[in-house]
Every structure is written in C-alpha cells, then in structure tokens.
Amino acid sequence: MSTTDPAPSLYAARVPIFPRRVSGWFRRFKWVVMIVTLGIYYLTPWIRWDRGPSLPDQAVLVDLAHRRFYFFWIEIWPDEFYFVAGLLVMAGLGLFLFTSALGRVWCGYACPQTVWTDLFILVERWIEGDRNARVRLHKAPWSLRKFRLRITKWTSWLIISLATGGAWVFYFTDAPDLARDMLAFGAHPVAYTTIAILTGTTFLFGGFAREQVCMYMCPWPRIQGAMMDQETLTIAYRDWRGEPRSKHRKTEQAKSAGDCVDCMACVNVCPMGIDIRDGQQMECITCGLCIDACDDIMKRLGKPTGLIGYLALSDEAAERSGSTPTPIWKHVLRPRTILYTTLWSLVGIGLVYALFIRSDIDLTVSPQRNPTFVTLSDGSIRNIYDVRLRNQSGNAREFHIHLSSDTILRIELEGTEQSQSVVVPADSILLQRVYVTARPQDPAATADVTEFRFWVEDLDSGSRAFKDTTFNGKDTE
Amino acid sequence: MPDNKEIDQLSGVETTGHEWDGLKELNNPLPRWWLWTFYITIIWGIGYTIAYPAWPMVNKATAGLLGWSSRGEVAEDIKAHEDKNQALVAELVAADMTDLAATPDLRRYAVARGASVFRAFCSQCHGSGAAGATGYPNLLDDDWLWGGSIDEIAATVRYGIRTENDDARFSEMPAFGDFLEEAEIDAVVKYVFSLSGGSIDQATLETGRQVFLDGCASCHGDSGLGDRDQGAPNLADAIWLYGNDPEAVKTTVKYSRFGVMPGWDERLSEADIRAVSAYVHSLGGGEE
C-alpha cells in the first residue's frame, strides 16, 4: 500500500432507489395484504365489545392503568401474562415455520416496514410520477414545481404517519373518548408524546430510511439466514436459462444467448435496489415484484415465464439438467417444517386448553400464621384466613363461602353479621378475613393440624371452586 | 518536545510515542462534536452545582438557588398523598364509628390506614400480628379488659391505660401479699383456676371461695366474670394476660400488676386514632 492512499472509508452513502410501477400476481397479492393489515391496524381499536357496565367496551384494549388486557371475550390479568408469552412463542415459531418453508415471506409481504414503505412509495408515485419522472425530478435543480411536489409528498406522508402514530394510542385507551379528547387538546401528554414519536419514526422509516432499515437496523435478515436451508422455497434467478444475457435479439450472436434480455426490469422495480440475478443476497426481502416484472417481459417476448421465480436451491441441479424438480409439497413438508408445525400446534393447543380450564372463580387462601391460632375466652381455638376472591366479570357477583372437613369446624366471615355470602364488585379482588373455629371439645382444637377445604360458590351461576388448607390446633404436648 | 515528534507514515498523523509490539498509537485530535459536548457538560455541571445543593461547607452543603432538597421532595410527596385522601379523612373524622359497617368503602379505607398506624405505633408491644405477648393483650381474641366496641377501643387508644391523663383507663389491684397468708393465696389461686374448669379439692374450694368473696369479688364479681368498668379481668375464661400458669397468677395476687399503655391523643391525629381503632376492631374480637 502506498503512503498516499487515504484510509478506506467505512461509510457508504445511500444510493437513492426509485422503484418502477409493476403489475402482476405478486403486486396484487401485496395490495391485498396491505389493505388487510392496514385495515386491521387502523380499525381494530374501533370495534366495540360489550362487557357489562363497569368494564370498557373496546374489543382490543391494553389497559395499562388498570393492568388489564382485553381481547374480545378474553380478559387477561397481569398474573395470566403467560397467555401473552405463549402467543409470542407461537409468533416466533410461526416465523420459523414460514421462513424455513417459504423464505423471507414475513419481510416481503407482512413486515410493517415493508407495508408502510410500499404505501409511501405508492403516494410518491401518485404525486411525482413513475420511476423516470422521479429520477428526473431528483436530478433537477430546485424549482417552484419541485418544491411544490416535494411539499405535497411530505405532507401526504406526514398525514399517513400521523394516522399511524394516532392509531397506536387507541389501543391503550378507549378510542372514541381519546379521539374526542385529542381533538379538544385535552388528552394526556403521554398520548401526544407517543403519537409524536411514532409519527416521526413512521415518516423517517417509510419516507427516507426505507431499505436501510432492513439492511442496517433490522436483525431479522441475519437470523433468517439461519432459518433457511437448501430446501427452502425462495426467489431466485434461473441463470442456467437466462445466461448469457443479451440485449441484441436480432443479431447472430443472439442465437446462442439465454432468455435474459438484460432489460433491467427486475432491477428497476426492486424496492431494495438490488439485482436478483447476482444470486441470493441479504438485502433481498423476497417481495416478488421482480417475478412480476420479468414475467411481464417474458410474455411480451413470447418466452416461458418463470425466469425469476420461487424455487429451492436444492433443485438447481435438476433444473439445470432439464429433469423434473422436486414437487413443491415435498419442499414444504419436510422434518424441519413438520417439527416447527408440531411445536407451534402444541403451544397453541396448550394455550387454548389453559384458556378453557381457566376457572371463572379465582380463589386464594392464605392462612394467617402470626399467630398460628387464637384462644377465645370460652377456650375455643380460632384460625384466621385471608381469602381473596377474584371477579373478572363486568358485574358484581355474590359468592357463598363455606368449608368441608372430616371434623367439626365453624366458619365465620369478618364483618358480615352471620352471613356467609360476600359480594365481590365487578372487575376486582375482594380480600375477606375468614375465621374458622373449633370448640374446646372438638378434636381439631387439640389436634396438631387438621386438613379441610374451603368452598366458594357463585350463587347465580352455581359454579364452584375449592382450596385445601389446614387448621392449627392448640399444642397440648 | 519537537525533536521527538514522530509522524506516522501511513496516515500522516502524529503518534503519541507509545508502542506495543510494533503498534503505535496515533495522536488523533478528539472529534469536534465530542469536544464541544465535553465543554457543554462542564458548563452544565457548573450551572447544576449553583442550582442544586452541591458544595460542602463547614456545617452543611450550599443550598442551591432552586431550593431543592430530597427531604423537601419527600415532604411534598407525603403532602400530595394526604391531599388526595383529604375527603376520606374528613369523612372518617366526621363518621359515626359504631355505624362504620354501613359505609364499606370508608371502612376499608379506615382498616387499611389503621393497619399501617398499628404497625408503626402498636406492634412494638402487641406484635405485628396483634397477638400480644405476656402482659400485652392479644387483640385477636374476644376478651376485652375495657370494652371491645369501636368507641371503647378508641377511648383506650386515645387516653391510654394508667397514664397521667385524667381520662385514661385506670385501675389498680392491691398487692394481696401484704394481707393474706401464703396458704390463703395458694387456695385462692386454685379457686380461680377452678372457675374455668381446674380441679380442686373440697377444703381448698371452701377456703379459696371465702378468700375470693372477701378480697376479689368486689372488683372481679362473685362469679369471677370481671367488670369492664373497672378494667377487672374475667377470671372464668380461658384467657390469661400474664400466662395460663398458677405461678403467674400467684405473682399477680401477691404483688399485683400495673400494665400501662401510652395515650395517643397527642401523637396521633384523630383520623389515625379512629383508623387504628377500626383496624383493631376488625381483627376478630370486635363487639357491637
């Protein structure tokens, strides 16, 4: 190395990408996915779900203030967070499954970064025109027209970003109330801050960072590399069919050329700005737009489509030699994907099972052991229990508390005047002090430990729950 | 020293002269932004020590222009908390305590507040679980020396037992060791235990009963059931403040006892006294 060479720069300036409009099966599929996912995102907070008078009627609500998570008919309290953990495990395994079978389908179709970038590019095209117009505008010096187009584009992006950030907070508070408060500038500052941050990130990520988020910020492309193997279906260029590429179709040398006419359609439509013909690349999000672009050209040239298409790398040899490649179902159904499916299903079945056996009466009994027992004036022995009753429903419920044991024990509820019923208000936990007493002549009074069972019964529905616990007698040596 | 200045051939940057296994450290200047950030933090730091308590002086540190202190912050927090509970406190102070059960929310607040008052001021003698100890009454049972209604409990808490306060609970048992023979004391102790089912022979019963009726019944009652107006304990039940043990009872008879409890009217607020009474009342022995 000569001494005058400057140190190599580690900084790569972004090369602007101007994806061209394309039409075809994958493009249509992506529109559908975009409409469905954005529709779910924007509309879900507005779905109503009646839960009774004292609970929120929003179908999906993360109520941080009261530590509740509502999802349609399911209500999750903080101690049941394993349901959420289970869903996350399922989401993870689902990603593994889809990635090992179909490559980076998450990146290409469903990732919010992809969906929003797609939307932003669509808006960009409506305002500034298609690829060539945008390239010209990019190179043109600042003028009134360029200024007007840019301002229109940025304003449109900002409105989308605001809607995106705005929709997010609706998941955490009652949406209609919050919308009203926000318009009156009376909402909580946290709401405005959250919206501001999310608006900013949406605007930057969707409008400017775009593919750089995937390339430099996101760990998933690296992880996905480990999830894929030779059998995974992914998007690739059939170089054995396309090479040597040639633009000159009419000349002599074209006779020996491959199908690729080097029209650059696949490169021009790519939102990541790569050339799929260079082979598998970390940058490729497998959005399928190059397939649409190439198929379109091939049809016009009267050649078979599929020069770029979904294939497994293990089929390359078979395809090269012209023999039949492995059928697609064999790529999808193999030990690895079956294992992921099995694990995914097991977690899912476990969660559903847990959800169904979840008792609608939640009872905990903590015996008070300071002191272990109390002697009353007539010599009776009393034990004290803190009974916690949980009512997850939106209505107050009346519970009857009693006990069963092999020996004689009496039960008394603190502050209820002889009644053995307590009313638990809606959506709350009631702490009830319960006294269990054995008269001096009862065996439990002198036995070291007596086992018994607390029963709780919902008088309306008849559902019951129990908890086993123990009674401490007086130590008689 | 200019003579020692060594320029790295490759980068054209001066080296520090430090060398490890042939590797030399370049003496690159700090990046501008870093340097400016550093200067700004210095300026910020100076401003901070002026605004907030910082410099140690002989007696205490400088107070800072903003007048902030961690103690003040805690006081503010406590004040904010009390302000929040003001309505409930006012309600509690005005409430008819005998009818507290009619307002479950207020009762729940009183019991919760009372529980924390109890842990701070009462648990030292009565125990954190309120089970008491020898000489310190168990508050979980149904036996009360001075009455177990919520107002009676409040009166005991407010003025104390055997304190200087004119309204305090006051009683004093004579030390019978000064008047009675040893044998008479033994007999009366046996008699007292017989009231709650202890075995006794006929002769001792006769002597004991006579001694009891002469010396004890005026306060403890002919049947030994006690008298709450005088704070005379029920001797016929299963609860023994100084131990279920003839020796302990004999000591009581001989030398008397003089348990005291401080009055809290000057140390606790009215709301706290009411709250802790509600709490004690809720522990299992509360009476109407």
> CATH number for the domain including A387?
2.60.40.10
- In chain B, how long is the greatest CA-to-CA distance? 120
Q: H or E stretch including A122?
A: helix A112-128
Span A194-213, average pLDDT: 93
Q: How many domains does chain B have?
A: 2
- A143: which strand partners? none
| pLDDT at site B136 | 95
- What pLDDT is attached to residue B113? 95
- For the segment A207-218, the average pLDDT, to the nearest whole number, is 91
Q: Looking at residues A256-284, what average pLDDT do you find?
A: 90
Looking at the complex, does the CB of residue B106 fall below 8 Å from at least one CB of chain A?
A: no
**Are A415 and B101 an interchain contact pair (Cβ–Cβ within 8 Å)?**
yes
Percentage of chain A with pLDDT > 70?
96
Mean pLDDT of A350-370: 88
Contacts of B158 (CB under 8 A, 6+ apart): B167, B263, B264, B265, B273
What residues of A are in contact with residue B234 (Cβ under 8 Å)? 377
The pLDDT value given to residue B1: 47
Are A242 and A374 members of one domain?
A: no
Element housing A70 (H / E): strand A68-71
Shared domain check, A293 and A222: no
When pLDDT is averaged across residues A326-344 and rounded to a whole number, the result is: 91
* Residue A5: predicted pLDDT: 59
Question: What range does the domain containing A264 cover?
Answer: 230-326
Kindly identify which residue of chain B lies nearest to residue A4, measuring between CA atoms: B10
> What pTM was estimated for this model as a whole?
0.70
Do residues A121 and A19 make contact, with C-beta atoms less than 8 angstroms apart? yes
Measure in Å the smallest separation between the Cα of A474 and chain B Cα atoms.
12
> For chain B, how far is it from start to end, CA to CA, in angstroms?
95
- In angstroms, rounded to a whole number, what is the distance separating the alpha carbons of residues B26 and B35? 18
Q: Which amino acid is at B175?
A: A
Residues A234 and A222 in one domain: no
Tokens of A26: 């994958």
Domain boundary among A179, A199, A226: A226
Picking from A3, A414, A417, the nearest residue to B10 by CB comes out as A3
The per-residue pLDDT for B4 is 65
From the list A145, A116, A120, the residue with the least C-alpha distance to A133 is A145
Yes or no, beta carbons of A384 and B140 under 8 Å apart: yes
Residues B116 and B234 occupy one common structural domain: no
Containing domain of residue B85, as a range?
71-167+261-281
Classify residue B28 by its DSSP letter: P
> Which among A7, A370, A374 has the least Cβ separation from residue B284?
A374
The answer to whether B55 and B39 have CB atoms below 8 angstroms apart is no
Tell me: do B193 and B242 sit in the same domain: yes
Q: Are residues B157 and B189 in the same domain?
A: no
Q: Which of B129, B238, B239 sits opposite A368 (nearest CB)?
A: B129
Pairing of the two strands A410-413 and A68-71: unpaired
The partner residues of A434 in beta bridges, in order of sequence, read A385, A413
State which residue of chain B sits closest to A5, comparing Cα positions: B10
**What is the predicted pLDDT for the residue at A208?**
92
List all residues of chain B from 121 to 140 with a beta carbon under 8 Å from chain A: 127-129, 131, 138, 140
Q: How far is B169 from chain A (nearest CA, A)?
A: 22
Q: What is the pLDDT of residue B151?
A: 94
Res A157: pLDDT: 96
- Residue A46's alpha-carbon distances to A34, A52, A176, A184, B134, in angstroms, are 19, 17, 8, 19, 64
From CA B253, how far away is CA B245, in angstroms rounded? 13
Range scoring the smallest mean pLDDT among A111-120, A386-395, B275-284: A386-395
Residues in chain B with pLDDT values less than 70? 1-4
- H-helix or E-strand spanning residue A452: strand A449-458
CA distance A389 to A456: 9
Query: Which of B248, B239, B189, B247 is closest to B216 using CA atoms?
Result: B189
> Who contacts A226 (Cβ-Cβ below 8 Å, separation ≥6)?
none
* Chain B residues closer than 8 Å to A385 by CB: none
Shortest CA distance from B240: residue in chain A: A377
Report the pLDDT value the prediction gives residue A1, as an integer from 0 to 100.
Answer: 43
pLDDT-derived band at A2 (thresholds 50, 70, 90) equals very low
How far is Cα B250 from Cα B177, in angstroms, rounded to an integer? 9
Q: A-B interface: how many C-beta pairs under 8 angstroms?
A: 55
d(CA B172, CA B162): 9
Residue A19 belongs to some domain of the structure: no
Q: Are residues B146 and B188 in the same domain?
A: no
